[in-house]
A and B are shown apart, each in its own frame.
Chain A
Amino acid sequence: MAEPARARPKPTPETQHYWDGAKAGELRLQRCDDCSNVYFPPRPFCPGCASRKVSVFKASGKGILYSYVINHRPAAPGFTPPYAIAVVELDEGPRLMSSIIDCPQTPEALELDMKLEVAFEKLDDAITLPVFRPAKG
C-alpha cells in the first residue's frame, strides 16, 4: 500500500487569491470596504457586517505566537514528529494555523507571545504554504 500523501490544500474560487498570493511570496488578507473589518479565512463578503464590498491586501506578515501543541503521535502523513502546530495572531488581527520554522520544536524555544514573521514553503508548483519563523531583530 502506498504511503498516504501529505495533506495538500485545494483552492476554491473564493480562496484562490490567497494561494496565488502565497505562491508570489505574499500573505494576503481581506478588508471590508464598508466597516474596515480585517478577516480570515477568505470569503467574498464581510463576516462582520455582511457587505460584499471587500478588498484583498498584502498583510505585514508579522504576528505573535498565540498558542500551539507539539505533536508527537500520531503524526500526520509527511510530517516527522515532534513538530509544532501553531496558531499565529497577525498584527492585523486575524489568527491562522501555521508551522513554526527555523526554531527548535520545544516548549523552551516556543514561547507564547514571541514575535513571528511569515515565510513561504513551496509544496509543489501549484501550492506554496505560508509558515512563520521567529522575527529577526
Chain B
Amino acid sequence: MRRNAVAVVGAAETTELGVIPNMSQIQLHADAALNAIKDAGLKLSDIDGIATAVETPQQIAHYLGITPTWVDGTSVGGCSFMLHVRHAAAAIEAGLCKTVLITHAESGKSMIGKLPRSIPADSLQGQFEAPYGVYGPPSMFPIPVLRYMKTHGITHEQIASVAVFQREWAAKNPRAMMKAPITVEDVLNSKMIAYPFRILQCCLVTDGGGALILTSADRAKDFPNKPVYILGTGESVETPMVSQMETFDSSRAFRVAGPTAFQEAGITHKDVDHLMIYDAFAHLPLYGLGDLGFMPHEETGKFIADGNTRPGGKLPMNTNGGGLSYMHSGMYGMYALQESVRQMRGIAPAQVEGAKISVCHGVGGMFAASGTVIFTNEA
C-alpha cells in the first residue's frame, strides 16, 4: 500500500465514557458515529463504506441509514479496528469506496443490548479449554505470562510498573476512569484475580465507543481538522486457543503484524514519537515492545520499570491511560486508535510535544489476532 495515500479525517468517541446506563450498545455505535461525522463536517449520506466488529455492518449501516458500496465485518477481537483501518485504506486506494466509517461500541459494563459471549461445547475451545475452568479473559489472557517471565528474566515488580506509569498518564486525562496515583506495592497488594495478576493489572470494564472516518489523502485537506495519514499497517492471526500458541515467549501474530507495518511505513524504531500498545492486561506492553522490535524481550521489563514510557520518558506509551486506567469496554483497539489520532492532531490531553509518528498496536481474542497502524501528521 502507498504511504500516506489515505487519511483519518474524522475521529470521535462516544459523548460519555464509563458507565452509560441510558444507552444500548447499538446506540453507543450511533453516538460515536454521529460525533465522528460531525468532527469531519460530513453528512451521513457522504459515507459509502462501513466497517464494524461484534455488531454486524448491516446492523450498523441500517441503524444509521447508510447505503454502503463496501463493507467489512472483520471481527477478530479488540484489534478488529486496526484491521478495519488497513482494509479501508486498501479499499479506498482500489476505488471501492470514497469515505469509510469504522465504528466500535460496547455496553461492556451496563450490558444493554449486548449479546452474551459463549463458547459452544463442541468447538475446539469448548472441548479442550473450557472444561478446565477458564472463564473469561482474566483466566486466559495471563496464562502465558509466567513462562514469559521465566524465559526472559522479567520480575513481578517490573510488570506491576506498567499499571503505575499508565496511571500517571491517566491523571492528565479528564476522561480517564481511574486517576488516583498508585505504587508498585499497591499493584502487588491489590485483589488477586488470576495469579500472577491482580486487579490493578487487569483492564477496566466500562461502556463506550468510538468511530473513525477515512478518505483519500488528496481529499483530506478539505476537511475541518488536520488530516492524520496512514503510513503503514500490518495484521495477522494465530490461534483462538491460548494453550495452542506456538510459544509463550512471544506472540506470533505480533511478530507478523508489527514488522509488516514498520516495513510498509519505511521507518525505524528511532523514528517513533508516540506508542500505543493495547493493554488489556499488564504483560501486553512487554510482548509488544519485544515483538515489534523496539528491544529484545529480556529488556522490556526493565525498560518500562526504569520510566522510559512514563510522562517525560523517551518513548511515551499508552498516553490516554490505557485499558488499565482510561477505559476498556471489551474491545479497546478503537480507543488506542483514537489516542493516536489525537496525538497526531496535537490535541491529546497529555500531548507529546512535536510528535510526528505514532505506532498503534492491537491484540484481539487473547493472543488470537493482531493489527498495527502507523500514523503520521506529515503529508
Residues of A participating in the B interface, judged by any CB pair closer than 8 Å:
6-12, 15, 19, 40-41, 66-79, 82-83, 85-87, 95-99, 107, 112, 123, 129
- Smallest CB–CB gap between A73 and chain B, Å? 6
A85-B244 in contact given A10-B121, A97-B128 (Cβ < 8 Å) = no
- Smallest CB–CB gap between A10 and chain B, Å? 4
B136 within 8 Å of A by Cβ? yes
Inter-subunit contact B248/A72 (CB<8 Å): no
B150 within 8 Å of A by Cβ? yes
Q: Which of B124, B129, B194 contacts A69 (CB 8 A)?
A: B194
Which one of B41-49, B141-149, B294-302 contacts A? B141-149
| Nearest chain B residue, comparing its CB with the CB of A39 | B244
Inter-subunit contact B128/A41 (CB<8 Å): yes
A107-B124 in contact given A85-B143, A95-B244, A97-B243 (Cβ < 8 Å) = no
| Nearest chain A residue, comparing its CB with the CB of B141 | A69
C-alpha spacing A73/B121, complex, angstroms: 22
- Going nearest first, the 4 A-B pairs with the smallest beta carbon separation are A76-B135, A67-B147, A7-B130, A70-B195
Inter-subunit contact A73/B193 (CB<8 Å): yes
| Nearest chain A residue, comparing its CB with the CB of B136 | A74
Residues of A within 8 A of B248 (CB): 66-67, 87
| Nearest chain A residue, comparing its CB with the CB of B120 | A10
Pick from A68, A76, A97 the residue with the most CB of B within 10 Å: A97
Residues of B within 8 A of A68 (CB): 143, 146
Q: Which of B124, B132, B193, B197 contacts A98 (CB 8 A)?
A: B132
B133 within 8 Å of A by Cβ? yes
C-alpha spacing A70/B129, complex, angstroms: 15
Residues of A within 8 A of B354 (CB): none
Q: Which of B127, B129, B191, B194 contacts A15 (CB 8 A)?
A: B127
22 A-B pairs with C-beta separation under 8 A: A9-B122, A10-B121, A11-B122, A41-B128, A41-B241, A66-B248, A67-B146, A70-B194, A70-B195, A71-B133, A71-B138, A71-B194, A74-B136, A74-B139, A79-B133, A85-B132, A85-B194, A97-B132, A98-B132, A99-B133, A107-B195, A129-B131
Q: How many A-B residue pairs have CB under 8 A?
A: 118
C-alpha spacing A7/B131, complex, angstroms: 5
C-alpha spacing A78/B124, complex, angstroms: 20
Chain B interface extent, by class: 35 or more
- Smallest CB–CB gap between A14 and chain B, Å? 9
Inter-subunit contact B128/A11 (CB<8 Å): no
C-alpha spacing A6/B150, complex, angstroms: 32
Inter-subunit contact A9/B121 (CB<8 Å): yes
Inter-subunit contact A71/B135 (CB<8 Å): yes
- Smallest CB–CB gap between A66 and chain B, Å? 6
Q: Which of A40, A75, A82, A98 contacts B135 (CB 8 A)?
A: A75
Residues of B within 8 A of A40 (CB): 244
Inter-subunit contact A69/B142 (CB<8 Å): yes
Inter-subunit contact B193/A75 (CB<8 Å): no
Known: A9-B121, A41-B241. 5 other contacts (CB 8 A): A8-B121, A41-B127, A67-B145, A70-B195, A85-B134
Residues of A within 8 A of B128 (CB): 9, 41, 96-97
Pick from A6, A67, A79 the residue with the most CB of B within 10 Å: A67
Residues of A within 8 A of B146 (CB): 67-69, 112
Contact with A along B337-376 (1 / 0, CB 8 A): 0000000000000000000000000000000000000000
C-alpha spacing A87/B133, complex, angstroms: 12
C-alpha spacing A60/B131, complex, angstroms: 22
